[in-house]
Chains A and B, each alone.
Chain A
Amino acid sequence: MQVWTWDGWGWGTFDIAFPFGTSVINRHSHCIVSICELGGQPLDFPFIGAATMRVHNVAPGDDGVLHVRFEIDWNNVLQWRATFFID
């Protein structure tokens, strides 16, 4: 099993394609994902604020890309961190 984190910016409902590579995943890989907000200085401290964050669809592909749909219930951009367990 591998563990990864990936940081990004966003709000609303949006899809992200995470290019892990074909040496990491294919369409039969087992992937679970969590998400949280980031804050602090440096911008590296997970916390739970007023914005609710959700992980929806999680779809690994044979091209080594993991497609994830997130929902961040906020009306402007926030920094998030996604954590991945991949087996």
Chain B
Amino acid sequence: MAQITTGLVGNPTTHYSFSYDSSLQRTASNPTGPEPARTNALIAACEADFNLMSGWFGNPALDYNIPCTVQVTQNGGGASWGLGGGKLGVTLNPGGGDVTMCRYLLVAEITEQFMREQGRGWYGTNTEGSEGEGLSRFLAARFLAINGLGLPPAGFDNSNAWMNSPRNDFVNNINKTDDGPDAITGCSLLFIYYLFSQLRYTVDQIVAAGAPTLAGVYNNLTHDPGDPFPYFKALVDSAYPGTSTIAGPDLDNPFPLAMPLQVWTWDGWGWGTFDIAFPFGRSVLNRHSHVEVSVSELGGQPLDYPFIGAATMTVLNVAPTDDGVVHVRFEIQWSSVLQWRATFFIA
């Protein structure tokens, strides 16, 4: 069949030139054909959607000629794009989907153009790569949410591909040429939701923090120079152990999640006022963790019996940090060394 523009109104727009497959045209012999009504609804909405995307990326200059071509086919399965000689061509394969599906697919494709134009690392090598694929799926879902259009279409969820896998580290290890739905891109999508719904960064902040890895995006956002993967994975594992998956209703975004309360004890020696750095590790806490500490003297045989003697013991400052360390200042009012036990509640 051939691409046609019969019945399209307001075409082209500033940024898009639409056509659809002739087999989709509603005719006497094809009374259920969705076109041209569906593409006309897409034409009516596409420029506002474009402006939303452009705003997320700080309105960068386009590196292709406008309008680009957008071909709506009779196929299902998603969308794709090709770029050559300054000409961008987008193919939408919405199957029997409605105009919302078409808008969702177009946003997912055009955000990838903005990533390349922005040039801060989201885009991969000749394709969006795993990091960019995660961002395009995230932004397409945010487009739906902002416009009150619900969740991504059935079958377009991706986070569970990573949940139902060995959960390897694709936050630091980006695949610059992987743009398919798989565990790598699923990890990317889930981590971006972690930045958005758990750490509460805005879409604009996340997009502007682009870096060659998702760990770099995190570093740019939080000013924590360390590795975010251990805490991210520990948080997800605590709520979804093993290979258990997100049940929904949003199959891609389980956040915010509460880190389960952990209790620890640590024994030491000291007197006077002194600081101790307790290295719990980055999978246990970060600077936004909630930490409470108590201290008592230890005695008995074995040296394992908390008691209160003549020495007053006080917990002073308690400072958790992004490197997984809790710094605590203690005061023990005694003139010689005593054995103490500190108890930690960490959430």
Residues of A within 8 A of B (CB): 1, 3-5, 32-37, 40-42, 44-48, 51-54, 83-85
Contacts and interface: CB of A to CB of B under 8 A. Distances in A.
B287 A34 contact: no
12 contacts: A1-B261, A3-B347, A5-B288, A34-B291, A35-B317, A37-B319, A45-B322, A47-B327, A48-B328, A52-B273, A83-B292, A84-B290
A34 B293 contact: yes
B186 interface: no
A41 to B, nearest CB: 7
Contact of B329 (A4, A48, A84): A48
Interface string B334-347: 00000000000101
Q: Which of A1, A33, A36, A45 has the most CB of B within 10 A?
A: A36
Contacts of B292: 32-34, 83, 85
A34 B318 contact: yes
Given A34-B318, A83-B291, A48 B327 contact: yes
Interface of B: 223, 261, 273, 275, 287-288, 290-293, 314-322, 327-329, 331, 345, 347
A5 B317 contact: no
Contacts, number: 66
Contact of A85 (B223, B287, B347): B347
A41 B292 CA distance: 24
Contact of A83 (B223, B261, B290): B290
A54 B314 contact: yes
A36 B317 contact: yes
Contacts of A34: 291-293, 315, 318
Nearest to A51: B317
Contact of A47 (B288, B291, B314, B319): B319
Contacts of A3: 290, 347
Nearest to B329: A48
Contacts of A48: 275, 317, 319, 327-329
B319 A36 contact: yes
Closest A-B pairs by Cβ, 8 of them: A46-B319, A36-B319, A3-B290, A34-B318, A48-B327, A53-B317, A48-B317, A3-B347
Nearest to A34: B318
B290 A46 contact: no
B223 A36 contact: no
Which of A3, A44, A84 has most B Cβ within 10 Å? A3
Contacts of A1: 261, 347
A1 B329 CA distance: 25
Contacts of A36: 317-320, 327
Contact of B318 (A4, A42, A83, A84): A83
A49 B288 CA distance: 18
Contacts of B293: 34
Contact of B321 (A41, A46, A51, A54): A46
B345 to A, nearest CB: 6
Contacts of B327: 36, 46-48
Contacts of A5: 288, 290
Contacts of A46: 287, 319-321, 327
B287 to A, nearest CB: 6
